[in-house]
Amino acid sequence: MKLHIVYNYKDRFPGLKGSDLTDELIRMLLRDKDGGPLNIIRTERGKPYDKDRRMFFSVSHTHDVFGLAEADFEIGMDLQKKGSRNLKKIAERFFVDEEISALENLPQSSYEREFMRIWTRKEALVKYRGAGLKDVLGREQVLDREDVSFIDFELEQGITGALCIPAGEKDDKISISYGE
């Protein structure tokens, strides 16, 4: 598994937005892979993958940070920057009872960290499945699952992240690269 992080990613390809920008960033980060150019296509819900290789990837961006996770098995990833939001109201609306219980009685500093861990896991699960947020938010818990595993991480600048991988896959060999 490899995680690629690019800061100020919008400056890399001025004028590109949305999936065009995402596809160029993926090509830039994976250009040294064997097998020639990437043939990026998208699932019905927009999840990118390489049609010609057994390569799976997941992308996320938050503020000026872009992340690309790649593996030889299905993977989902999310990045979120901490911010000033009413976390308790968001949790009440989008978390299941077990997740809300895990947050109860935590001091504010721990509450924010645990909230971010749960939220990024939810989005990573969505991306792992290639589903929509409405399929997971408020409906499925992301604590103590047996069908998938989560790898939680933090980057500089207040960025929290999570990877979602199939249960039983090796998660002890993750490399992180920054920039190109």
Q: Which helix (H) or strand (E) holds 119?
A: helix 108-129
Express as a percent the part of the chain with pLDDT over 70. Answer: 94
Say whether pLDDT at 29 is over 70. yes
Give 93-127 pLDDT, tens digit per residue.
899 999 999 999 898 779 999 999 999 999 999 99
Interior/surface letters 156-170, b for 16+ CB within 10 angstroms, e for the rest:
eeebbbbbbbeeeee
Paired strand residues for 150: 164
Out of 21-30, 49-58, 130-139, give the one with best mean pLDDT: 21-30
Express as a percent the part of the chain with pLDDT over 90. Answer: 51
Lowest mean pLDDT among 22-26, 39-43, 80-84: 39-43
Lowest mean pLDDT among 57-71, 91-105, 121-135: 121-135
Cα dihedral sign, 103-108-113-118: positive
- Sorted by where each starts, the structural domains of the chain and their CATH numbers stand as 2-168 (3.90.470.20)
Per DSSP bridges, beta strands 2-7 and 175-178 are parallel
The C-alpha atoms of residue 117 and residue 176 are separated, in whole angstroms, by 19
